[in-house]
Structure 1
Amino acid sequence: MDVTHAIPSPGSARSANPTWDIGSIRKRWLEFWRNPRAQFRGYLAGLPFDYPPALITGSWLAMAVIGIVSTIQRHNYFPNALPLLAVLALLCSMPVFCVLAITPPPLAMASCGVVVTAIFLMQPVQSDFAPFVLILTVGEVAALVPKRWSVVYALVALGELMIFDALDRVGWSGPNTRLEGLQMYTAGLALGWMVGVMLRYQRKFLHQERESQEIRAARAADEERRRIAREVHDVIAHSLSITLLHLTGARHALQTDRDVEDAIEALEDAERLGRQAMADIRRTIGLLDRSPSKPAPEPGIADIDGLIADFVGAGLDVRYTGSGDLGAVSAAVGLALYRIGQESLANVCKHAPDSTARVRLEVDSATAILTIGNTLPAGMPTTRGSGMGLSGMRQRAELLGGILVTGPYDDGWMVRAEFPLAAERGCALTGVGKSRTERREDE
């Protein structure tokens, strides 16, 4: 999208529905008369130019000073009233716009600059300040309108000065009075136009930065929502899977063996895991709260033993082997390995609760590899699901520069997560360039 088109056009904010009845104008004038400073500041703050009110006020004051100095230079022409009319137009333009509550149209500003300068130059003086009205007006117009129109106005202003210089050369204004320093005024027009264009570009880049910040904020919010959704999903899937296994064991103990003690023990474990799940969910949902909090530490690689113990205690046949220095694994990678293992074992409980699961954790100087495999009952399909479990595990791995391989393997199902540990190796992981068949052969 062209950001220049997104910039509010001058006059769009105030002149959309102007009120021109006498009563409203009188009311605004009385409010301005009682507290001109507050009314003027409120008017400047509401202008759609995105320029600081101090800059707009400074430009108007500079124009007023130039007009007053130009009028004083023409004291020899008094009682002629032309200079007074010109300076009155410069002084009253902004208050009139403020009282009428409209945005100064660039065309009106350009026309006022040309007319006021012409009035002054009709009574030429030496070292005239009047052309500075054009210089300042060219800068104001260039800061508000596209370059193609501001260039046209700058050329019109230069043409006006050249016309009066030519007239002075033929002596229409009398001897010893002519416009001096045309080259200096021309350079001033060019400088004023450049300053105005730079201000316009600054305004354009300001809008681009605002849009970029909004996009980044929206993306960050989406990513945070996805992260919290993954956390809630992992917690619920893990806790409910183990709780259901405990409840199933309690039911079997009561129905088959009439063993009340085993049933009570299974129910106590289910209650403990349920309370733990509720605490984890509250902590995860608490991330949405803006107030500062001190959440419990995130689980890491050292908690994988406890995770597997929970599944084993719930009745799932899990065989675990681990090797390597677990202290070499960062907290982020440890959390990802824990969550991937948690989700994988929860899927085993959900889809193949009577199968045997094998968990192997290997940590060396370069990588950390977690492999979860399980047998599948005869006739069970090996197609991938469409839930957010696999996609969440894959996102966790990719965010940390790792890879995740899932799919059927021999007589069962395998999940293999691999993360880099050596920073100098970046994302150059073992087996990245290998095919799935080659990875299986390595196993």
Structure 2
Amino acid sequence: MEVSNAVSATSAGRTSRWRRLADPPWARVRRMLALARERIESLPYDYPPAVIIGADLALLVITGAAVIQRHSYFPSPLPLIAMATAFLPIPLFAIFGVMPHPAILKGSALLSCALFLLQPVSADFAPFVLVVVAGEVAAVASRGLTIGFALLAIAELVAFDLAGHVQWGDTGQRLQGLPMYVLGIILGVFVGVMLQYQRRFLYQERENQAIRANHAADEERRRIAREVHDVIAHSLSITLLHLTAARRALQTDDDVTEAVDALVDAERLGRQAMADIRRTVGMLDAGPALRVPEPSAADIDELIGDFRRAGLAIDYHRTGDLTVVEGAVGHALYRIGQESLANVAKHAPGNAATVRLDVSTERAALMVTNPLPLGPARHGDTGMGVRGMRKRTELLGGTIIAGAADDAWLVRAVFPLGSSACSTIATTLTGLLRIKPQEDM
């Protein structure tokens, strides 16, 4: 079995090679270009392949022009050797996998230019090899290596100019246009440095985007945590009130009907809580089919009714038109009222609560008060519910007070509406962008 598998694999490999050889030339060229692109993209310098290929094409044009200029030296192979030396890093990388280190780039360029200058010509293109490679080295190497190569390149040109291009015992002409070549090397270094700074800025922007994405994800997790906390706290508080009422009805009055009614309400609220939790967790999915309307200010009346049916005494009064309250503000008012009444049921059972909701064209205000329970006072408002109410209010540019006041616990949230809301939110965002610490109210 293993032998047959090996034979099959060998046959498949041979078939694949024969198919590649039988492909038309343009298909083989396309494969070679795709392979070259993959290799270029694997380089650690993170430059687009077009930039690297463009530099190599410029080097090809320069060396080709330098070879053509030396036609009078034919059949000397020195210009062709100089041209091959300039491109030495390419076969080293393509065949042997040797990364084009700056030292290899510098060495090949200096040697190629020296071989060209051994056969001097007028208006020589050969020194521009140093200009192109100076830009390549500056784009990938450190500042020290860049300056070192620029000095070596200039020193090489100056040396050939001073030597008068002595070749095979004959005196040649001095290097024409030396200042232009030196200036070209300096400009090439500047271009490479700009490319390297651009690459650094790209890395910094990617890092900043990753940080912003992490912050956004953390904020979204905190928002969902607040939603889940509010839903669970509300549903458990009312469910426990209904269960307590059912237990008392059975133990004290032996009233089965009242107990059944309380259990039915508890079951209904439990199912509603499960639906709310599914909706909240569904926020993690981008699918629009999972999105359902969130509770708003119009649902506060039903919220009060649920707590009343659970046995909590609530004095509720509402003024104004709830249609002027936008979705985000209405949702925040609902959650703040839900959390406040859940805290009353949890920390002050048996006490009555007062709820006031006042809506005008400029603002919406919700106030929930209840007498403080007997016993030791609570130390601070370190609970997650109060922190969640503060966060909701601050994000919408509102103000909130949550704490003890005149032997009662007071929660009062005020949100601006209309044009005043836009200016307040703009002020809040400006403060957040300035990264000033926010003080607790």
Q: TM-score, normalised by structure 1?
A: 0.84
Q: Does 1:423 align with 2:433?
A: no
Aligned to 2:58: 62
Runs of 4+ in 1 over 4 A off after TM superposition: 33-36, 169-176
Q: Does 1:355 align with 2:351?
A: yes
Aligned to 1:190: 186
Q: Which secondary structure does the structure 2 equivalent of 1:47 belong to?
A: coil
Q: Does 1:86 align with 2:82?
A: yes
Aligned to 1:24: none
Following superposition, the deviation at residue 339 of structure 1 comes to 0.3
Q: Does 1:146 align with 2:142?
A: yes
**Distance change >3 Å, CA 239–CA 341, structure 1 → 2:** same
Q: 1:134 aligns with which of 130, 136, 141?
A: 130
Q: How many residues align?
A: 400
Matches within 5 A, 1:142-291: 142-168=138-164, 177-291=173-287
Of 385-394 and 236-245, deviating more is 385-394
Q: Distance in 2 between matches of 1:171 and 1:289?
A: 76
Percent identity for Structure 1 against Structure 2: 55
Matches within 5 A, 1:39-78: 39-78=35-74
Q: Distance in 2 between matches of 1:301 and 1:122?
A: 88
Of 65-74 and 193-202, deviating more is 65-74
Q: Which secondary structure does the structure 2 equivalent of 1:263 belong to?
A: helix
Output the amino acid matched with 1:426.
T
Is the contact between residue 126 and residue 178 of structure 1 (CA under 8 Å) also seen in structure 2?
Answer: no
Q: Distance in 1 between matches of 2:86 and 2:38?
A: 21
Output the amino acid matched with 2:110.
V
Aligned to 2:433: none
Output the amino acid matched with 2:137.
V
Q: TM-score, normalised by structure 2?
A: 0.84
Is the contact between residue 123 and residue 173 of structure 1 (CA under 8 Å) also seen in structure 2?
Answer: no
Is the contact between residue 407 and residue 413 of structure 1 (CA under 8 Å) also seen in structure 2?
Answer: yes
Show CA shifts across 1:388-443 (max 9, x none). Answer: 111111111111122221111112211111222213642689xxxxxxxxx9xxxx
Output the amino acid matched with 2:424.
G
Show CA shifts across 1:135-193 (max 9, x none). Answer: 00100011012334323322322222222223339999857733222232233222211
Of 195-204 and 320-329, deviating more is 320-329
Q: Does 1:389 align with 2:385?
A: yes
Which blocks of at least 5 consecutive residues in structure 2 are unaligned? 1-16, 22-27, 429-440
**Distance change >3 Å, CA 197–CA 426, structure 1 → 2:** same
Following superposition, the deviation at residue 106 of structure 1 comes to 0.3
**Distance change >3 Å, CA 228–CA 116, structure 1 → 2:** same
Q: Distance in 2 between matches of 1:131 and 1:197?
A: 20
Which blocks of at least 5 consecutive residues in structure 1 are unaligned? 1-29, 430-438
Following superposition, the deviation at residue 329 of structure 1 comes to 2.1
Is the contact between residue 242 and residue 310 of structure 1 (CA under 8 Å) also seen in structure 2?
Answer: yes
Is the contact between residue 168 and residue 177 of structure 1 (CA under 8 Å) also seen in structure 2?
Answer: yes
Aligned to 2:402: 406
Superposition CA RMSD, Å: 2.5
Q: Which secondary structure does the structure 1 equivalent of 2:288 belong to?
A: coil
Of 68-77 and 308-317, deviating more is 68-77
Of 233-242 and 141-150, deviating more is 141-150
Output the amino acid matched with 2:375.
G
Aligned to 1:116: 112
**Distance change >3 Å, CA 98–CA 170, structure 1 → 2:** closer
Q: Which secondary structure does the structure 1 equivalent of 2:415 belong to?
A: strand
Is the contact between residue 405 and residue 416 of structure 1 (CA under 8 Å) also seen in structure 2?
Answer: yes
Q: Does 1:332 align with 2:354?
A: no
Q: Distance in 1 between matches of 2:412 and 2:239?
A: 26
Following superposition, the deviation at residue 382 of structure 1 comes to 3.2
Following superposition, the deviation at residue 383 of structure 1 comes to 2.5
**Distance change >3 Å, CA 114–CA 91, structure 1 → 2:** closer
Aligned to 2:373: 377
Q: Distance in 2 between matches of 1:265 and 1:206?
A: 65
Show CA shifts across 1:220-253 (max 9, x none). Answer: 1111111111111111111111111111111111
Aligned to 1:345: 341
Is the contact between residue 382 and residue 408 of structure 1 (CA under 8 Å) also seen in structure 2?
Answer: no
Output the amino acid matched with 1:135.
V
Following superposition, the deviation at residue 38 of structure 1 comes to 4.4
**Higher RCO (CA 8 Å, separation ≥ 6 residues):** 1
Q: Distance in 1 between matches of 2:95 and 2:262?
A: 80
